[in-house]
Amino acid sequence: MAQPFVQLKGVQKTYDGENLVVRDLNLDIREGEFLTMLGPSGSGKTTTLMMLAGFETATHGEIFLDGNPINRLAPEDRNIGMVFQSYALFPHMTVAENVAFPLMVRGIPKTGIGEKVKRALAMVGLNGFDDRRPSQLSGGQQQRVAVARALVFEPKLVLMDEPLSALDKQLREQMQYEIKQLHHRLGVTVVYVTHDQGEALTMSDRVAVFNNGVIQQLDTPERLYEQPANAFVASFIGENNKLYGKVVLHDKGWCDVRLDDGSTVRAKSVSAGSEGSSTMLSLRPERVLINPAAGVCEVVCQARVKDVTYLGDHLRVRAMAFGEQQIVVKVPNASQERLVGIDHDIQIGWRAADCHALDVVA
């Protein structure tokens, strides 16, 4: 196999000498890959990015870029492009001067700077904006300037720290598409940090899900959503029904789980413990059917509708089943099930393969 382009080996970070913000991190990133570090605040994702950029020093372990150790290199010597959450544009400089800044600090001759700046601005669709100041730009335009500045010196690696968090929803979605298209066109390696799961699933080749300084799962967006490795990943990625119980039987990759009301549910055993151990069943709302036809679902139970919310393309039905367990169902808007009313008794069901029994410790 080819050598990883970015490699973190046994990396740890502590600020006080006692509490580890990043714990024994081992991560390989392929050249040309778009990898996203996803997780809640304080999970270690941004600290990892800052160590890669050189703004934080690893307490232990080694970081390699294209096979070369970079722990002891200053940020400006790593040849890494950086896009910050706050854009970090110089307000007293024009757009062209902001984009030219990385070239000037690297000692690029002035005769070659103008053409490089023009090419970088064209890449992000800002032709003709050279003489404007950041204050004369919209948030989306400022973000494009920040991206152009990160790309102008043609780095092989670009780091992005929650670059779209300040934008409104529509503009954020547009910029997600534009950044992903740039990545495809240029073939540059991108390491992206966000706490927005939708952003991570939309943009990434692979996603590293962080919690408590540890990568809980490193996988493609599809596998993260469809095959979460543990209860934390299942809960953090997408909406998820969670049913808690104890494993009463293991059987060749399947298990039976007894819920609090005494019901037994068949599920796919992903990371469930041994018989007698606690587990969480993960079930996506779109996998649940209302009043399923006979034989379609292995698991069928009675439920009572508590509320129905209209969300345009689908209805969100909240029902109670298995005693006091809440089950959310997403029903396509075109379905006849929109006739379901509050306090109606219904049947709900799902395939056992769509219900995952997971370790509750993450």
Residue 362: predicted pLDDT? 47
pLDDT band at 335 (very low <50, low <70, confident <90, very high): low
Give residue-wise pLDDT tens across range 266-280.
Answer: 999 998 888 999 999
Classified as helix, coil or strand, 201 is: helix
Compute the average pLDDT of residues 195-209: 94
Compute the average pLDDT of residues 295-319: 92
Q: Which of 50-54, 82-86, 346-350 has the lowest mean pLDDT?
A: 82-86
CA angle 74, 78, 82 (to 5 degrees): 100
Residue 105: is it exposed, middle or buried by C-beta count within 10 angstroms (0-12/13-18/19+)? exposed
The full set of domains in the chain, from first to last, is 6-231 (3.40.50.300), 232-358 (2.40.50.100)
Nearest of 165, 157, 226 to residue 193 by alpha carbon? 165
Contact 206, 219 (CB under 8 A): yes
Instruction: Supply the mean pLDDT for the chain.
Output: 91
pLDDT band at 252 (very low <50, low <70, confident <90, very high): confident
Q: What is the DSSP letter of 4?
A: P
Phi then psi dihedrals of residue 329, to 5 deg: -125, 130
Q: What is the DSSP letter of 30?
A: -
What is the percentage of the chain residues whose pLDDT exceeds 90?
A: 70
**Separation in Å, CA 184 to CA 80, 126, 190, 200, 229:** 18, 19, 11, 16, 29
Give residue-wise pLDDT tens across range 89-130.
Answer: 999 999 999 999 999 888 888 888 999 999 999 988 898 999
Residue 337: predicted pLDDT? 52
What's the CA gap between 216 and 53, in Å, rounded?
Answer: 23
Q: Which residue type, as a one-letter code, is found at position 153?
A: F
Give residue-wise pLDDT tens across range 47-61.
Answer: 999 999 999 999 999
